[in-house]
Amino acid sequence: QSVLTQPPSASGTPGQRVTISCSGSSSNIGSNYVYWYQQLPGTAPQLLIYRNNQRPSGVPDRFSGSKSGTSASLAISGLRSEDEADYYCATWDDSLSGVAFGGGTKLTVL
């Protein structure tokens, strides 16, 4: 049981826009930045979004993040086949004194 709640799966067709939600509480998302990671099959996770809505250099602007209250979301526009991956949200949890992850969302490009 993960501290942050994500849908286990999401899907879309090429060119579509998909969103992945991440729900938490006041001790984690409600009081800390949210981060998103992409894990392509067989590889290590990579940072996709930091501090709620910032993109590291090299991440396409098709990826965007937002946060409101105790929830956050990742949006992917202009979906491409290479976006097929697992996506994780994460943040610091003040109650746990540790990093809280979502359970991950497997994105399928149909």
Partner 1 sequence: EVQLVESGGGLVQPGGSLRLSCAASGFIFSSYWMHWVRQVPGKGLVWVSRIKSDGSSTDYADSVKGRFTISRDNAKNTLYLQMNSLRAEDTAVYYCASNIFGLLGSWGQGTLVTVSS
We find the least distance from the C-beta atom of residue 28 to partner 1, in angstroms, to be 12
Residue 41 burial (CB count, 10 A): 7
Rounded CA separation 82/66 (Å): 22
Closest to partner 1 by CB, 13 or 42 = 42
Rounded CA separation 96/1 (Å): 14
Q: Give the interface with partner 1 as residue ranges (CB under 8 A).
A: 2, 33, 35, 37, 39, 43-47, 50-51, 54, 56, 88, 90-92, 97-104
Closest to partner 1 by CB, 13 or 61 = 61
Closest to partner 1 by CB, 15 or 98 = 98
We find the least distance from the C-beta atom of residue 110 to partner 1, in angstroms, to be 22
Alpha helices of 1-106 — where are they, by DSSP H? none
We find the least distance from the C-beta atom of residue 12 to partner 1, in angstroms, to be 22
Closest to partner 1 by CB, 72 or 90 = 90
- Amino acid 6 reads Q
We find the least distance from the C-beta atom of residue 97 to partner 1, in angstroms, to be 5
Helices (H) and strands (E) in the chain, counts: 0, 9
Give the total residue count for the chain. Answer: 110
